[in-house]
Amino acid sequence: MEKLIESKLVKAHNAFTEWKNVPFEEKQKLISKAADIFKDRAVEFGEIITKEMNKPISQSIAEVEKSALMMDYYAKAENILQPEIIESEYSISEIHYVPKGVILGVMPWNFPFWQVLRFATPSILAGNTVVLKHASICFGSGNAIEKVFLEAGFPEGVFQNLEVGHKEVQEILEHKAIAGVSLTGSEKAGAEVASIAGKNIKKSLLELGGSDAFIVLDDADLDKAAKTGALARLQNCGQTCVAAKRFIIEENIKNDFLAKFILEYKKFEPKDPMDKETKIAGMARPDLADDLEKQYQKAIENGAEVILPLERISDNEFVPGLIKVEEGNPILQEELFGPLGMVMFAKGDAEALQIANDIPFGLSNSVWTNDKIRQKFFIENLESGTVNINRMTSSDPRFPFGGTKTSGYGTELSLLALKEFINVKTIIGA
């Protein structure tokens, strides 16, 4: 291991020995200061995001602002980590919540500020310190976040960005200073990191891929569903784990809905990401565009029908595509991470549910119906971490976020996230 990385891990551990004892309210004051900096300089940080991974500037700025709002939530959050007194026959019977130590964050490029801060903020507030391994194209974002923490007054070592590649992750995770890891990324990366953590008896939290269903039933508001559905698939150029990827339409409304949906879909035309009016730009890297193109061809070779062709117009830009897919097409078992959507038809609620659940992923689903009984049916039976009714998936700091099946495990956001990297200590006195 390089001496610089070793020294940063040691610094993080040394910082933890003092940071864990800082009162919860004092930690919150620093988080509030950092949130103010992100809010005040959202345009500056948004430009970093856009330059690194091509996100439209308006969406980049919104990402920074949303990160600040999330930090404000934790800056005012209830302290659920105070010792709990348990009624018993003992003279002392308490539960204490003790931070684990240094937590490694392995974070992706698609939301380079939000993903990092979503993981780091509750971890740090709980008393841990954080080291970040960001995506290689987002080192600028990682360094900017570290500078904000220092500017806000956090002690050195509480948050550090490590400019390392994937090859260094195993050695870092195996280091004695590291107590746990949180990864947002692909199923493959999650399995590798969780395996390393497991072998070393270290806690892991995984937020992995998805192939979310967007179910439209015959009593839905079709205009709203069509407009929201296009945004849900194509926001951030479709490079979102919780993007709507499979549109499951009740068969008796397929023509009406598709006409509206295609009209909305075509409004997303690739343009300059630095233009505030741009709704969609290029993908983050040309190799990712190559992968999407291969998946598109694979789907067609296995029987998918083209509704709107996926047209590549540069090394990383596409005119968004839409395909009709039948059950059994192997593409349904993969995640499409780009501007390509899949349409499927169902004869009724039971078939729509079966199609929605018949994938290895279980992140978040969206159901469009105004019937309370139908809503309850899908709420109770969809296999996912989140179910949205008449809205697209979007995370909210007040509510837990996480997946099931191969979409991962563990909780981000909400007060529950404060207990993810915590040891529970039982105290009993005779």
Percent of the chain residues past pLDDT 90, beyond the cut: 99
Please give the average per-residue pLDDT across 30-48, as a whole number: 98
pLDDT class of 337 with cuts at 50, 70, 90: very high
| pLDDT above 80 for 128 | yes
Residue 1 has pLDDT above 80, yes or no: no
Check whether 33 has a pLDDT greater than 90. yes
Domain residue extents for the chain: 3-208+407-429, 212-389
What is the pTM assigned to this prediction?
Answer: 0.96
Record: fold of 3-208+407-429: Aldehyde Dehydrogenase; Chain A, domain 1 (3.40.605)
As a whole number, mean pLDDT of residues 121-142 equals 98
Was domain 212-389 assigned CATH 3.90.1150.150?
A: no
Q: What is the pLDDT of residues 136-155, one digit of tens each?
A: 999 999 999 999 999 999 99
Query: Model confidence over 341-394: pLDDT tens digits?
Result: 999 999 999 999 999 999 999 999 999 999 999 999 999 999 999 999 999 999
Annotated catalytic residues are 207, 241
Give me the pLDDT at residue 406, please: 97
Looking at residue 319, what is its pLDDT? 98
- Mapping DSSP onto H, E and C, the string for the chain reads CCHHHHHHHHHHHHHHHHHCCCCHHHHHHHHHHHHHHHHHCHHHHHHHHHHHHCCCHHHHHHHHHHHHHHHHHHHCCCCCCCCEECCCCCCEEEEEEEECCEEEEECCCCCCCHHHHHHHHHHHHCCCEEEEECCHHHHHHHHHHHHHHHHHCCCCCCEEEECCCHHHHHHHHHCCCEEEEEEECCHHHHHHHHHHHHHCCCEEEEECCCCEEEEECCCCCHHHHHHHHHHHHHHHHHCCCCCEEEEEEEHHHHHHHHHHHHHHHCCCCECCCCCCCCCECCCCCHHHHHHHHHHHHHHHHCCCEEEECCEECCCCCEECEEEECCCCCHHHHCCCCCCEEEEEEECCHHHHHHHHHCCCEECEEEEECCCHHHHHHHHHHCCCCEEEECCCCCCCCCCCECCEECCEECCECCHHHHHCCEEEEEEEEC
pLDDT for position 2: 87
The pLDDT value recorded for residue 292 is 98
